Amino acid sequence: MYCSDVDDSVQATAATVVAAGQECDVDGQPAGVEHQHPDAATGLVQLSSLVQGIYARVSERRGLTPVQAKLLCVLAEGPRGMAELADCFGVEKAALTGLVDRAERRGLARRSPVPGDRRAVRVTLTDTGHGAATAFHAEVTEELNDLLAPLAAHDREHLRGAMAEVIAAYGARSPRAAR
């Protein structure tokens, strides 16, 4: 649903913009500068901040942390092994154990053995977890659509196409693939 391996890239871009040493006003524009269209990197950082804010607010309303919400969304796409989940989250398997433990205690997910591999486990959503993932996804989708509401239909379509191109190009050369 909303599993993304572009988080590192967004954070790196944000760090680059901050490292440039410009003080910014509340809209992210350089202080004392007339409001204008941001350059692409600044615009992406600002947009990322808006999206992350929506994600965090919806997570909180649903009684989840953003990382728990991400786990539900990833698992909504189907069962995953711990190694797959660790890769999606950019952490070691050991670091993911606590997250899955908490999801299990809440009745949102369960681990089951992988036939033929005594050491491997698969993580799946419970019925409660599916319901929580579906509700979270619907609410985030509604708020993200509201974010784009000021755009004309043809501009939304253009943005959707441009995003798809960027995501496809980035996915083909993802730094995670090199790990």
Query: Is residue 177 predicted with pLDDT exceeding 90?
Result: no
Domains along the chain? 7-23+38-148 (1.10.10.10)
**What whole-number percentage of the chain has pLDDT above 90?**
64
pLDDT at res. 36: 72
Dihedral of alpha carbons 48, 162, 158, 70, sign: negative
On whether the CB atoms of residues 79 and 122 are closer than 8 A, the answer is yes
pLDDT at res. 94: 85
pLDDT at res. 35: 57
Q: How many residues does the chain have?
A: 179
Instruction: Quickly count: other Cβ atoms within 10 Å of residue 74's Cβ.
Output: 21
Question: Over the stretch 60-100, which tens digit does the pLDDT of each residue have?
Answer: 999 999 999 999 999 999 999 998 999 999 988 888 999 99
Q: Which of 28-42, 87-101, 110-124 has the lowest mean pLDDT?
A: 28-42
pLDDT at res. 95: 86
Residue 61 CA, chain-centre distance (Å), reads 17
Determine the average pLDDT of the residues in 158-168.
94
**What whole-number percentage of the chain has pLDDT above 70?**
76
Please state the pTM of the whole predicted model: 0.72
Label residue 20 by pLDDT band (50, 70, 90).
very low
pLDDT at res. 174: 57
